[in-house]
């Protein structure tokens, strides 16, 4: 079988990168903005559509580059309107991984909710963090997605034109792939790109401190931190990364930034029956977060095969929320979406490929 040449995708490139491409094609520097407009505003599907460029330049570009759009290979639809999309990470003529062994596809989840249309995107195939309650972590690490692989999830679904919000809460730890995530965020928010407000985007993290500082310094997107227990030893049993990135150090970093005006800070707290759902935990969490302008999202646990963990009851979650609110924190119980198609929080796994 003939091997196809893998051309570099233009999708996901920053303006500086497109300026380099334009120079390679013998074009003036301003052509980079024309290419960016075709890619990110007009949503071109082929280089031939970039008619502002000379025909000879388009032909040269087509030999060495492609737009890079890849349609999802599968869509699963929930009774509640949620749609889970499966995307290939590698093919005969494309590669959306910068590192890793590959062998696993990634998933993105579209969540409609009244006047909001949110897409939950992945930043890695699998994950290195090893959290005990997460299906993605069970898969191990298979590779970092390129900025093209991240942006493709946003552009290649039919609901793309009407999306209102993005959350980097899919497969992988965004801070573990910080360079490509920052490139994708630049494309999403820059005036030459999609020109989205950073307030439409939330990036979730376990709290890799150096990389989290980069995100906070270089962007104004909202931030969500996975905490799940206020007690270090207990958190370490659930999230091995507590050893390398203690939650007290993560919170110490967050206290250096202004979350009252520029962006929103959230803490994600999955609730397990008899593990972290009593009022003692609520009080300890209140003490840990005291003085931070933040909110706490309480999340129902979605059981995984072979796991002894079970979700807390509705009554217990309500009492926990009320206790946090009484202590001056803003706490809410997040609605569960897409559980019937394995699209809810902690359930994304992708599919293995031969």
Show the domains of the chain with their CATH numbers.
8-66 (1.10.150.530), 74-341 (3.20.20.70)
Report how far residue 173's alpha carbon sits from residue 196's, in angstroms, rounded to the nearest whole number: 22
Structure tokens given for 215: 């995100």
What is residue 108's predicted lDDT score, i.e. its pLDDT? 95
Structure tokens given for 23: 């120079």
What is residue 29's predicted lDDT score, i.e. its pLDDT? 94
∠ CA 314-317-323, nearest 5°, is: 140
In whole angstroms, how far apart are CA 159 and each of 7, 88, 196, 348?
Answer: 27, 19, 16, 20
What is residue 335's predicted lDDT score, i.e. its pLDDT? 81
Report how far residue 174's alpha carbon sits from residue 178's, in angstroms, rounded to the nearest whole number: 6
Sign of CA dihedral 158, 90, 13, 47: negative
Sign of CA dihedral 143, 144, 146, 150: positive
Per-residue pLDDT of the chain (354 residues; tens, 9 = 90+): 344 578 999 999 999 999 999 999 999 999 999 999 999 999 999 999 999 999 999 999 999 999 999 999 999 998 888 999 999 999 888 999 997 777 779 999 999 998 999 999 999 999 999 888 888 877 888 999 999 999 999 999 999 999 999 999 999 999 999 999 999 999 999 999 999 999 999 999 999 999 999 999 999 999 999 999 999 999 999 999 999 999 999 999 999 999 988 899 999 999 999 999 999 999 999 999 999 999 999 999 887 777 888 999 999 999 999 999 999 999 999 887 656 655 556 555 555 554
What is residue 306's predicted lDDT score, i.e. its pLDDT? 79
Q: Three-class SS of residue 179?
A: helix
The answer for 291, left when phi > 0, alpha when psi is -120 to 50, beta otherwise, is left
Catalytic residues: 107, 345
User: What's the pTM value of the predicted model, to 2 decimals?
Assistant: 0.93
What is residue 353's predicted lDDT score, i.e. its pLDDT? 54
Nearest to 111 by CA among 162, 55, 180, 37: 162
What is residue 307's predicted lDDT score, i.e. its pLDDT? 81
Structure tokens given for 243: 């050893």
What is residue 132's predicted lDDT score, i.e. its pLDDT? 86
Q: Are 117 and 163 in contact (CB under 8 A)?
A: yes
């Amino acid at each position: 079988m003939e091997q196809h040449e893998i051309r570099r995708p233009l999708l996901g490139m920053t303006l500086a990168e497109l300026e380099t491409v334009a120079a390679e094609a013998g074009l003036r520097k301003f052509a980079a903005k024309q290419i960016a407009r075709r890619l990110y505003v007009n949503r071109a599907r082929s280089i031939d559509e970039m008619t502002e460029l000379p025909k000879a330049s388009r032909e040269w570009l087509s030999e060495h580059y492609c737009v890079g759009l890849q349609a999802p290979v599968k869509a699963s639809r929930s009774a509640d309107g949620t749609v889970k999309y499966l995307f290939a990470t590698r093919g005969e003529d494309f590669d959306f991984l910068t590192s890793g062994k590959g062998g696993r596809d990634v998933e993105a989840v579209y969540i409609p909710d009244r006047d909001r249309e949110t897409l939950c995107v992945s930043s890695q195939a699998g994950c290195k963090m090893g959290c005990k309650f997460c299906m993605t972590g069970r898969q191990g690490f298979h590779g970092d997605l390129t900025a093209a692989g991240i942006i493709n999830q946003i552009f290649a679904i039919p609901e793309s034109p009407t999306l209102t919000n993005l959350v980097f809460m899919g497969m992988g730890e965004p801070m573990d792939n910080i360079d490509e995530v920052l490139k994708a965020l630049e494309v999403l928010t820059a005036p030459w790109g999609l020109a989205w407000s950073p307030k439409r985007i939330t990036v979730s993290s376990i709290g890799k401190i150096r990389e989290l500082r980069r995100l906070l310094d270089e962007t104004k997107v909202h931030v969500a931190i996975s905490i799940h227990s206020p007690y270090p030893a207990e958190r370490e049993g659930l999230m091995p990364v507590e050893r390398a990135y203690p939650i007290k150090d993560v919170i110490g970093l967050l206290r250096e930034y202004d979350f009252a005006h520029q962006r929103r800070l959230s803490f994600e707290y999955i609730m397990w029956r008899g593990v972290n759902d009593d009022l003692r935990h609520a009080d300890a969490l209140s003490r840990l977060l005291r003085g931070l302008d933040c909110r706490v999202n309480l999340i129902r646990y979605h059981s995984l095969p072979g796991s002894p963990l079970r979700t807390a009851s509705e009554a217990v979650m309500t009492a926990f929320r009320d206790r946090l609110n009484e202590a001056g924190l803003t706490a809410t119980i997040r609605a569960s979406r897409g559980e019937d198609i394995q699209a809810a929080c902690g359930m994304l796994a992708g599919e293995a490929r031969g």
